[in-house]
Amino acid sequence: MKRKSITIKLRKDILRDIDNTINGKNIADRSQAIEILLSKALHAHRVKKAIILAGGEGTRMRPFTYEMPKALIPIQGKPLIQHIIELLRRYEIRDILISTGYLGDKIKEYFGNGCNFGVDITYIEERKRMGTAGPLNLMKKHLNETFLMLNGDVLADIDLHDMIMSHRKYGGIATIALTPVRDPSRFGVAELKGDKILKFIEKPRSTKSKLINAGVYVLEPEVLKFIPKRHAMMEKDVFPKLAEEGRLYGYPFNGQWFDTGTHEAYEKAIKGWRGSKSL
């Protein structure tokens, strides 16, 4: 994207605050720092819509999930999915699609149309299991611009604005948030070349990379062309195709991240989650 030069005069204290944002990584100098700060203030890279996947049965979280969907399991006094909704609202993403399936009526009963939580919620019902990609085929009429998608069982303290800016810069179809873990052997590890994801290595015994899929994505509507008309998984059916075409990118971040898919992980989240502080 072409840039134009301007000359501005700033107070010393403001200039000092700007310099404090320079980290040598994604913010290399004053010019970049000012551009990012202005972009945030003006919502220049704003994404308006997000999808939350909440249709799974949560079999690994039984017996809790015999009576409630995993999305409503409490974390520090709030349903898990409410933490995700509050993260989106902090970034002024208020148009939310929730894909429901197992015990989905309980999610609808709790959140309603979203007005009590400062958002507008539309529910998409999975009448049969559709995986992590299949539900997008039910949402085509809603997806006509860049959107976010989040797994409904993760907690992430992530700067969504910065991730969206990175996605715009890459110009790909999909950007995946990547988080480092000590033991990547239970996950699919991203193999990167620069910012581009070449492939995911499933449950590696040894690898240089410790970056795994964090379950937060920025997607373009074009991704719908890559989703089969059946039960489909983003991780197995969509992302490998995008990687082959060189249109899949990674966004590493160091904020808190918890997977709540097992009892052990859930216990760690209850004890360790400090809430989203990215903005």
**Domain residue ranges of the chain, discontinuous segments joined by +:** 12-41, 43-272
Q: DSSP H helical segments within the chain, as ranges? A: 12-19, 30-42, 80-90, 104-111, 160-170, 239-244, 263-272
Q: Write down the mean pLDDT value for the chain.
A: 84
How many angstroms separate the CA atoms of 213 and 242, rounded? 15
Condensed to tens digits (0 to 9), the pLDDT of residues 268-277 reads: 888 878 876 5
43-272 in CATH: which number? 3.90.550.10
Residue 88 has pLDDT above 70, yes or no: yes
How many angstroms separate the CA atoms of 27 and 182, rounded? 27
Burial 30-52 (b: 16+ CB within 10 A, else e): eeebbebeebbeeeebebebbbb
Q: Model-level pTM?
A: 0.81
Condensed to tens digits (0 to 9), the pLDDT of residues 221-242 reads: 999 999 998 899 998 899 999 9
pLDDT at residue 188 in the model: 74
Residue 124 has pLDDT above 50, yes or no: yes
Residue with tokens 């193999």: 191
Q: Which residues are part of the catalytic machinery?
A: 203
Cα-Cα-Cα-Cα dihedral sign, residues 11, 4, 173, 212: negative
pLDDT at residue 44 in the model: 47
Strand, coil or helix: 191: strand
